[in-house]
Structure 1
Amino acid sequence: MNTKASMLCVAAGLAIVPYAHSQSDSTLKTLGNFQTTGKAEFTVIDQNSDRADAIRKTLETIRLPEGFEISLYARVPDARHMAVGPQGVVTFVGTRKTEVWAVIDQDKDRIADEVKNFAPSLAKAVPNGPCFSSDGVLYIAEQNRVLAYPAAESFYKGGDVMAYEVIPRGTLIPKQFVSYNHTARVCDIGPDDKLYISLGQPYNVTPPEYIDTFGKLGIGGIIRLNRDGTGREVYTRGIRNSVGQDFHPTTGDLWFTDNQVDGMGDDIPPGEINRQTAMGQHFGYPWYGGGDVRTNEYKGEKVPVEVVFPVSETVAHAADLGMMFYTGDMFPKPYQGGIFSAQHGSWNRTTPIGARVMFTPVDADGNIAGETVPFAEGWLADNGEYLGRPVDVAQLKDGSLLVSDDLAGAVYRIAYTGP
């Protein structure tokens, strides 16, 4: 296999950000002892700027079903995956850079009052994936470690926030496999109160010599572990790069998006929404590049695993990322219980596609009840220019929908206002 060719996905542009090792370790120790570091200088994002006005102008072009409205919730630089705090006061927004942002709506008017960086005294590297436990612990999956912040929603106002390592720096994956490609992690707490973390693999198509190693480590899969970091195991196998997951609120099954193989043409292979019903199930990669389309590199080989195919296929190269089950009651009945997901948009397709929020209907028994269709679109202009690139979706306490956008540097709010 041509290993160089298998790195086609590098245009995702994920840069490695090195830790200041000794400084980071020292700061964690200080914070763990409830001591101050003296480094509490915040970066505060102006919410009433010309840039905010320009984003609002773009939102006038977004198309939604009748009765829905979209507005600017907050300016948030490089906004990626989101975690809404249990109290509904702060939404924590990760990035593929070095910051996690605290988006604060103290007066609950559904517009952010303030946006500032979270825990500025602690260095971070690609802190893309925040998630909350039901008892208020914020977990953040970084490029190569996982931190826990107890009571983050209570102590976000200070520069020093209690934190400890769940997975120490440099041990989420072996250092030799750390890449600028496919290392934006996401996390969730499952119905079993365990932590689930996606581990995208660094190649477009995994070379044969790494298949067994990656399988043992959970690279190209989703790992599961206890919230204290013990009991790590590989829960999901055979995925390329999942950057969106959620658990069905009734069945408890894990559902996730997956990004398909690049370089096979404009229209194949399809993107995926997958449903996992048992630990250890295999979803086909690298023998399949998306759906039932075989990869060129493994096309002539017998598939050595039993494959679970996607429950919904999406258009090729639209880059399906964050997803969630809608559990609110603000939206009309047809949307309740279904999946909202974000398509980041293509980077290597002749005619660009994506940059929208999708909806997939799911019935009361937890089964797909129709095709995945556009819900909010218009960030991709007719001339092929991206005006925004949605990354993740999250639900506020009132049942409205948040959408993050790392190109515009924004978080939007979609609400249903009638009829």
Structure 2
Amino acid sequence: MTFSLRRHMAIAGALALSLTAPALAQQAAAPAATPGWAQGRPADQASSPLAPHAPRLTATPADRIPLDSIRLPEGFKAELWASGMPGARMMARGEDGTVYVGTRTIGRVYAVKDQGGTRSTRVLAQRLDQPNGVAVRDGALYVIAINRVLRFDNIAQNPNAEPVELTEAFALPTEAHHGWKFAAFGPDGKLYMNVGVPCNVCNFDENRHALILRYNPDGSGREVMGHGIRNSVGFDWRPGTNVLYASNNGRDWAGNDAPEDTLHRLSRPGEHHGFPYCSGNAWQDPGHTGRQCSEFPAPVAMLGPHAAALGMRFYTGTMFPEAYRGRAFIARHGSWNRDAKIGFDVVTVTLNEDGSQGRMEPFLTGLLETGDNSFKGRPTDVLVMPDGSLLVSDEQNGAIYRITYQR
């Protein structure tokens, strides 16, 4: 190679580098994708300090859990049932009395074993991607994470069992935003779970997201029980009717008081319940006008704007007074997309005779400090125990409370 040729090649290389450098710089400076929770935020609120609460990665020591702050109706009492479980969320009870507890950001599943008045807690599984959903059937524990479905067979007799992998059989979406599941077996023996919308509000596949689904326990037989349910993290069947009811979280960035979270009755499989076109109390989404609120069944009850209504169970025990029997107990995790916070409590919903309308009332309060707009706990799920007491999980403190009533 001659000196002249080498010189021309060097000049060409330098010129190519000078031409590509601006493109590389522009590529490196490209803005990060908008996080799912911020989608739909108005441009004039881009600098808003409102954002989801950072999760706690440790549990509150037992002697610092705000048990004394809890307020209940007369005759009811709250006690600390279990603690030391960072991120404790959804609960399911096994046949032997063990309570299994799912989490989100912690990635663990806990097992709480009652040993005659004292309880021992251990980590059953860990390093999972948001294993929020737990359900028990025929001696097997099902754990539903973002990207996996696991079955632990004979869990009471073999607490260290290796799980059976059912992920491919269920073929669930794996988007992380609103991808955490609530799961429960229905009266028909089938496994029900939610699939939330992968954003705050957006265009999405309505046959893949914003659903309540049911499956055979092996993952076959997928059926859509409800469309247009943005993000349900709690559902149950009304006693005596076997009709499914589900809590639902409304969209964010539409104002302090709209839309409300809702309670829905899924009386007809496959029915559409409104999202993204309609939310709350007939609130028409201005960005999704293709369908009208009149096309969808009205929610049974309003549960408060941005209150994050999560786990719910109908009360089937006999310990509580007669007036509470058959009510829906709903844990409201608490708002972030609202200037004055709301929720951080447990409410009840009393249904009318045909179950088409409900009335919300406060039940467990005291964890929200309205004076300085702060909170001490975040109720996440409720579970009715065989003796009629009610367990309430608190993700913020990594604890479970037991609510009893004394006549």
Q: TM-score, normalised by structure 2?
A: 0.83
Residues 277-335 of structure 1: CA distance to partner in whole angstroms, max 9, x if unpaired?
11101100000132310112114x34499312210112111110000011000000000
Counterpart of 1:51, as a letter, is P
Among candidates 211, 215, 233, match of residue 225 of structure 1: 215
Counterpart of 2:157, as a letter, is S
For residue 223 of structure 1, give the secondary structure of its aligned residue in structure 2: strand
- Separation of aligned partners in 2, 1:356 and 1:153: 32
Among candidates 51, 59, 64, match of residue 54 of structure 1: 64
Q: Which residue of 2 aligns with 1:64?
A: 72
Aligned length: 360
Q: Identity rate of aligned residues, in percent?
A: 39
Q: Which residue of 2 aligns with 1:377?
A: 365
Among candidates 214, 224, 244, match of residue 234 of structure 1: 224
Q: Are 1:142 and 2:145 an aligned pair?
A: yes
Distance 1:67 1:305, change over 3 A: closer
Distance 1:297 1:334, change over 3 A: same
Counterpart of 1:312, as a letter, is A
Considering fraction of residues, name the structure with more strand.
2
Q: Which residue of 1 aligns with 2:122?
A: 116
Among candidates 123, 130, 142, match of residue 126 of structure 1: 130
- Separation of aligned partners in 2, 1:381 and 1:305: 38
Q: Which residue of 2 aligns with 1:186?
A: 182
- Separation of aligned partners in 1, 2:220 and 2:170: 16
- Separation of aligned partners in 1, 2:369 and 2:343: 11
CA contact 1:251–1:366 (8 Å) conserved in 2: no
For residue 152 of structure 1, give the secondary structure of its aligned residue in structure 2: coil
Q: Are 1:155 and 2:158 an aligned pair?
A: yes
| Bigger Cα Rg | 2
- Separation of aligned partners in 1, 2:158 and 2:317: 27
Distance 1:11 1:138, change over 3 A: farther
For residue 351 of structure 2, give the secondary structure of its aligned residue in structure 1: coil
Q: TM-score, normalised by structure 1?
A: 0.81
> How far 1:417 moved relative to its partner?
1.4
Q: Are 1:99 and 2:108 an aligned pair?
A: yes
- Separation of aligned partners in 2, 1:369 and 1:310: 8
Counterpart of 2:81, as a letter, is Y
Q: Which residue of 2 aligns with 1:407?
A: 396
CA contact 1:70–1:415 (8 Å) conserved in 2: yes
Distance 1:12 1:235, change over 3 A: farther
Residues 121-143 of structure 1: CA distance to partner in whole angstroms, max 9, x if unpaired?
xx42211010122x222211111
Distance 1:166 1:314, change over 3 A: same
For residue 168 of structure 1, give the secondary structure of its aligned residue in structure 2: helix
CA contact 2:300–2:357 (8 Å) conserved in 1: no
Distance 1:396 1:154, change over 3 A: farther
- Separation of aligned partners in 1, 2:270 and 2:368: 38
- Separation of aligned partners in 1, 2:214 and 2:336: 31
For residue 243 of structure 1, give the secondary structure of its aligned residue in structure 2: coil
CA contact 2:76–2:404 (8 Å) conserved in 1: yes
- Separation of aligned partners in 1, 2:153 and 2:271: 32
Distance 1:278 1:405, change over 3 A: same
CA contact 1:14–1:183 (8 Å) conserved in 2: no
Q: How does 1:151-300 map to 2 (within 5 A)?
A: 151-156=154-159, 160-168=160-168, 171-173=171-173, 175=174, 178-179=175-176, 181-207=177-203, 210=204, 214-217=205-208, 219-299=209-289
For residue 53 of structure 1, give the secondary structure of its aligned residue in structure 2: helix
> How far 1:367 moved relative to its partner?
1.7
Q: Which residue of 1 aligns with 2:309?
A: 320
> How far 1:148 moved relative to its partner?
1.5
RMSD: 2.4
> How far 1:202 moved relative to its partner?
1.1
Distance 1:146 1:282, change over 3 A: same
Gaps of 5+ in 2: 1-32, 40-49
Counterpart of 1:202, as a letter, is P
Counterpart of 1:205, as a letter, is V
> How far 1:167 moved relative to its partner?
2.9
> How far 1:14 moved relative to its partner?
9.1
- Separation of aligned partners in 1, 2:157 and 2:328: 30
For residue 155 of structure 1, give the secondary structure of its aligned residue in structure 2: coil
For residue 156 of structure 2, give the secondary structure of its aligned residue in structure 1: helix
Q: Are 1:307 and 2:288 an aligned pair?
A: no
